[in-house]
Structure 1
Amino acid sequence: MTMISSLAQKYHQSIIDLRRHFHTYPELSTKEFKTQERIMKELAAIGLVCRPIAKTGVIAEIKGSKPGKTVAIRADMDALELFDECGKTYQSQNPGICHACGHDGHTAMLIGTAKILTAISGQLAGNFRFLFQPSEEILPGGAQIMIEEGALAGVDAIIGAHLWEPLKVGTIGVSYDRLMAASDRFSVTVKGRGGHGSMPHQTVDSLLVGAQLAVALNTIVSRNIDPLKPAVVSLGTFKAGETFNIIPDTAFLTGTVRSFEPSIRSTVFERIEQIIKGVCETYGAAYQFEKALGLPAVVNNPECSKAIAAAGEKVLGRSNVLTINPVMGGEDFSYYQEKIPGAFFFIGVGNPEKGIIYPQHHPKYDIDEDALLYGMEILVAAAVKLAQE
């Protein structure tokens, strides 16, 4: 462990510099070409043979000197459509594109992890595969393409991490079961009959119907779901009409559903359809309902999580390894977990003393870069432990 820590300290500043480079030049999902190029350059510099995968991703592997299992470590690479307002020297130079979710740090941290494991490969049992995955931010995500192109072939276990502002730097959050929710979406088009605002009796008011739906759909979780089982139904858009004195012909609503259990997922969508049908029939409107089942839930393998927790205790101390409740955000790391044992965990980056207080997807999002040091150490130690077991 001392050698891992020393190497992490040695590479820390170069990994900070890399993270700032990726933050300065972010790229959107499916367009991470320059990011891919820089990753391959960094890996080649330490003697690794790497290749493109999933169009803009990268895959590489090192072999230890002794027999053992093959462990994959995954990082995502893509940025968000958002204007960067971090106000630092490394603020995004690509207008309207921003690493406001920490993927710049994930990518840099995995490069550092590869450097450490390469340096000690002569002492290791097992093999270590590095998966730099594109397109996490869009559905269906890049993980499925990575899998289709052989990213998990021969892999026994996989681990991954997310830099997480709600947790203080110097801590990690671990779950031994559910961590992140299934992420689904839906849309409703209400088709009424438009007309003059002064003659509502001649219309079927799609705006009014949409408003009734907005209220009714928000009762599903509170009245149809066991309060001890987490679920979310949230509307994100409601669009109807163009001017003040015309009752609109059409209203359009979109929303998301988050859950962990297939039965909850099914119940929520059944109630959504029942409510839409009932409200529209009551007001004489027609409707079109579409649903898109998205990412499955991130459910951790307990043994993989134990390896992460054990590594975290050695690096940070037992009191700083937190067992956390699930969150309702989604992550396509779940697709890997459907194929092989795996665990995903959160690395704290929050630090009010440094002004690191803004959440994921906020234009002022930033990280305490000490987290990159801890993340490298924990990823290496956990991977080494899993490869030996």
Structure 2
Amino acid sequence: MKTIEQQLEQLFPEMVKRRRFLHQHPEVSYQEKETSAYVAKCLEELGIPIKRGEKGYSVTGELKGDLPGPTVALRADMDALPIQDAKSVEYASKTPGVMHACGHDAHTTTLLGIAEVLSTRKSELRGTIRFLFQPAEEISPGGAAPLIGEGAIDGVDAVYGVHLWSQMPIGEAQTRSGAFMAAADEFFIDIKGKGGHGGLPHQTIDSVLIGSQLVVNLQTIASRYMDPTEPCVISVGSIHAGSSFNVIAETCSLNGTVRTFSIEARDRIREQMRKIVEQTCAMYGAQVDFRYKVGYPPVVNDEKETERFFKVGADLFGKSNVQVSPYIMAAEDFAYYLERVPGCFVFVGAGNKDAGIVMPHHHPLFDIDETSMLHAARLLIGLAMDYMNEHA
């Protein structure tokens, strides 16, 4: 019988076709109808029983090995982004204004490849593999929480996931124990002052001035209120006010994000933001509405399962190619799985400077080196089987 690596190599041309088909037919969060149907069809053709999501477009498959043992979940996300694909390639998106600019097409393809390989090796599987094809990772509240609510990880002993990362060279992999990726929250500030003539500012309450002051004042939270060893980010992403050069705007709206690595830091920042917003606006005599939307929690990897990654990864890729990641300020709703089940989330290199594959995620020219799917598949299979063999 062929080795797992030989099976993946043989399957690779078909994986490329699948990935490019999905890349040509992207669907944004909460609209993954055709993508989920495609996934379900592939799993059913492999003889893997599936469950369709009751809320949304999730697909869960379960492969029971012939030998008793634990249940390990492997997860892939399926949604695309509202971005126009600007690549000049034959597999560019055919859907105007929508593209897979974050690699979820490749994540889905990788997990389908794993399912195909492992479905031929049930005799050596010590337990059960549960395949989680998740919608809506890109937009909070996300697809993980509803999937969990429908029982997708009931009875699961460990969970693993990967993110192909174009900013990391092919052949490398990174993660870290404990907090790895940030919690991502959103805030909204609506200021109401008093509009008036641009030449008579003393007769107004200038909402633009107050909004500008808030942009500056909010930065003092990270620089002067938080412990400097505690990573955090407060960013105002948009500010909207006014319609004419000579009119002082009555209203100004700010919208932004907060990134933290602990619930304690999140709560502390939120309370200090509220104080700064209310007191700054009160100082100028303006009214304000401050809203804070809690998003995904931080991704916190289990210590033992992170150690497993470094052991398995070193065997697969070489010790020098398996590294401790810096903190990542991007967010992931894989965090919800890790709140309930021990596991590990890993970045797998998908960039290739020689091939010109260097663009960051969420960019109109984003692409991956497709051989990264083989690395991701080998890693996820290795983690799952190592866990199953240890706990059988």
Using the alignment, how far apart are the partners of 1:310 and 1:89 within structure 2?
39
Q: Deviations over 1:9-40 (max 9, x none)?
A: 11111111111111111001111011011111
Using the alignment, how far apart are the partners of 1:199 and 1:190 within structure 2?
20
- Give the corresponding residue for 1:296: 297
Map 1:38-53 → 2, pairs under 5 A: 38-53=38-53
Using the alignment, how far apart are the partners of 1:56 and 1:359 within structure 2?
27
Map 1:234-383 → 2, pairs under 5 A: 234-383=235-384
Would the aligned equivalents of 1:50 and 1:61 in 2 still touch at CA under 8 Å? yes
Map 1:18-37 → 2, pairs under 5 A: 18-37=18-37
Unaligned 5+ runs, structure 1:
none
Would the aligned equivalents of 1:116 and 1:380 in 2 still touch at CA under 8 Å? no
The TM-score with structure 2 as length reference comes to 0.97
Using the alignment, how far apart are the partners of 1:4 and 1:317 within structure 2?
18
- Give the corresponding residue for 2:103: 102
Stretch of structure 1 that moved more, 114-123 or 204-213: 114-123
Which amino acid is 1:31 matched to?
A: Q
Using the alignment, how far apart are the partners of 1:192 and 1:323 within structure 2?
49
Which amino acid is 1:109 matched to?
A: T
Q: Deviations over 1:65-96 (max 9, x none)?
A: 11110000000000011111122111111011
Would the aligned equivalents of 1:310 and 1:382 in 2 still touch at CA under 8 Å? no
Using the alignment, how far apart are the partners of 2:95 and 2:137 within structure 1?
19
Which amino acid is 2:80 matched to?
A: A
Using the alignment, how far apart are the partners of 1:355 and 1:250 within structure 2?
45
- Give the corresponding residue for 2:9: 9
SS at the partner of 2:340? Answer: coil
Using the alignment, how far apart are the partners of 2:306 and 2:20 within structure 1?
29
Query: How big is the shift at 1:2?
Result: 7.2
Map 1:147-296 → 2, pairs under 5 A: 147-296=148-297
SS at the partner of 1:129? Answer: strand
Using the alignment, how far apart are the partners of 1:266 and 1:61 within structure 2?
38
- Give the corresponding residue for 2:140: 139
Using the alignment, how far apart are the partners of 1:86 and 1:106 within structure 2?
20
Would the aligned equivalents of 1:194 and 1:203 in 2 still touch at CA under 8 Å? yes
SS at the partner of 2:136? Answer: coil
Unaligned 5+ runs, structure 2:
none
Q: Deviations over 1:232-273 (max 9, x none)?
A: 100111001011111111000011111112221122112211
Which amino acid is 2:260 matched to?
A: S
Map 1:82-101 → 2, pairs under 5 A: 82-101=83-102
Using the alignment, how far apart are the partners of 2:145 and 2:176 within structure 1?
23
Which amino acid is 1:130 matched to?
A: F
Using the alignment, how far apart are the partners of 1:2 and 1:156 within structure 2?
29
Q: Deviations over 1:298-333 (max 9, x none)?
A: 000122222222222222111111111220111100
Using the alignment, how far apart are the partners of 2:375 and 2:261 within structure 1?
30
Using the alignment, how far apart are the partners of 1:307 and 1:109 within structure 2?
20
Which amino acid is 2:51 matched to?
A: R
SS at the partner of 1:97? Answer: coil
- Give the corresponding residue for 1:116: 117
Q: Deviations over 1:164-194 (max 9, x none)?
A: 1121101111212211011111110010011
- Give the corresponding residue for 1:57: 58
Using the alignment, how far apart are the partners of 1:285 and 1:127 within structure 2?
60
Using the alignment, how far apart are the partners of 1:57 and 1:323 within structure 2?
32
Stretch of structure 1 that moved more, 367-376 or 40-49: 40-49
Q: Deviations over 1:366-387 (max 9, x none)?
A: 0001101111111111111112
Using the alignment, how far apart are the partners of 1:263 and 1:38 within structure 2?
42
Using the alignment, how far apart are the partners of 1:175 and 1:112 within structure 2?
26
Query: How big is the shift at 1:51?
Result: 2.4
Query: How big is the shift at 1:123?
Result: 1.2
Using the alignment, how far apart are the partners of 2:211 and 2:12 within structure 1?
53
SS at the partner of 1:167? Answer: strand
Stretch of structure 1 that moved more, 289-298 or 303-312: 303-312
Number of aligned residue pairs: give it: 389
Query: How big is the shift at 1:296?
Result: 0.7
SS at the partner of 1:81? Answer: coil
Using the alignment, how far apart are the partners of 1:18 and 1:310 within structure 2?
30
Q: Deviations over 1:197-256 (max 9, x none)?
A: 122121111011101111111221111111111001001110010111111110000111
Using the alignment, how far apart are the partners of 2:344 and 2:234 within structure 1?
26
Using the alignment, how far apart are the partners of 2:294 and 2:345 within structure 1?
22
SS at the partner of 1:257? Answer: strand
Using the alignment, how far apart are the partners of 2:295 and 2:56 within structure 1?
22
